[in-house]
Amino acid sequence: MKNAKEVSAICKKYGVNLFLDCCRIAENSYFIKEREEEYRNISSKQIAIEMFSLCDGAVMSAKKDALVNMGGFLAVKNKELSEACKNLLIITEGFTTYGGLSGRDMEALAIGLEEVFDEGYLKYRIKSTSYLGDRLHAMGIPLIWPIGGHAVYIDAKALYSNIPVNQYPGQSLVCQLYLLGGIRSCEIGSVMFGKYDDNHELIPASMELVRLAIPRRVYTQSHIEYVIEVFERILLEKEKAFGIKITEEPKFLRHFTSKFEPIYKSKLENDILKKRMLNF
């Protein structure tokens, strides 16, 4: 909160609008309650209200802390700016009442924003994610520490030190998790953030991470135990992990639609991988 207050003060000083990406507002409020002494006895909801008071507006992907599977919103305090946004919407999408969210989805979103600030729910949510991170950490899986609220971030570069950065160790781990256990994850490394120099050589991202994002109210304890078991196998077979090459990529946001191929070390590895892919 101290950081948010300082940023807000700078923005006000220079007349810059401050917008909050509030997709994880409840989880972040919970962490403020847990980690900042002066907020220990204040509810997560009240902490969120104070955070919003520092801003000129907010954007939200409601699939996160609104506990719904569809929707989002833009909230703006300034009426003039709000009208400008509406006018742009008419040009690009249609009138504010056209399409968009159905009444049912908006009702679910409103209920979700209330339920997400239940302290019992937040404690369970954070502890569930921490459980997975703690177990993987104890196994020796390199990851970002301490564990956050919605995901565990694996350091793929450290885990797959045998794979050069220009062969995308993060994307390799994403593939291995799916091939070995059917687990879907997301690379956040040089596929997502890497760039090319003038000679088309890769300028890697600062980190090669894989995100294990945990949807709320979906997985049971046994699901999480299964993920841990798959990582045990990942450790056992990490020297067999293959590099990745990009075969097709768009000009922008390549992590969404690029196509890849594995870089095999031998024909045997090629045959093993094909067999695994057939099993899925």
CATH number at residue 101: 3.40.640.10
Q: Which amino acid is located at 243 in the chain?
A: G
Do 269 and 143 lie in one domain? The reply is: yes
Say yes or no: 109 and 129 in one domain. Answer: no
Same domain, 73 and 161: no
Question: Quick one: 247 and 150 in the same domain?
Answer: yes
Structurally, how many domains does the chain consist of? 2
Domain boundary among 80, 115, 150: 115
Inter-residue contact 91 to 56 (CB < 8 Å): no
Question: Same domain for 147 and 270?
Answer: yes
Domain end point (choices 61, 85, 115) = 115
Model pLDDT for residues 125-162, shown as the tens digit of each residue: 999 999 999 999 999 999 999 999 999 999 999 999 99
Domain membership of residue 246 (yes or no) is yes
Task: Note the pLDDT tens digit of each residue in 157-174.
Answer: 999 999 999 999 999 999
Per DSSP, which regions of the chain are E strands? 19-21, 57-61, 72-76, 151-155, 186-188, 195-196, 202-203, 209-213, 243-248, 259-263
Same domain, 109 and 36: yes
Domain ranges, residue 67: 2-115
Q: Report if residue 120 sits inside a domain.
A: no
- Residue 168 in any domain: the answer is yes
* Domain final position from 72, 95, 115: 115
137 and 58 in a common domain: no
Do 271 and 186 belong to one domain? yes
Instruction: Indicate the pTM of the whole model.
Output: 0.86
Torsion from C-alpha of 90, 94, 96, 97, nearest 10 degrees: 150
Average pLDDT (198-216) is 94
Do residues 41 and 180 share a domain? no
How high is the mean pLDDT of the chain?
A: 92
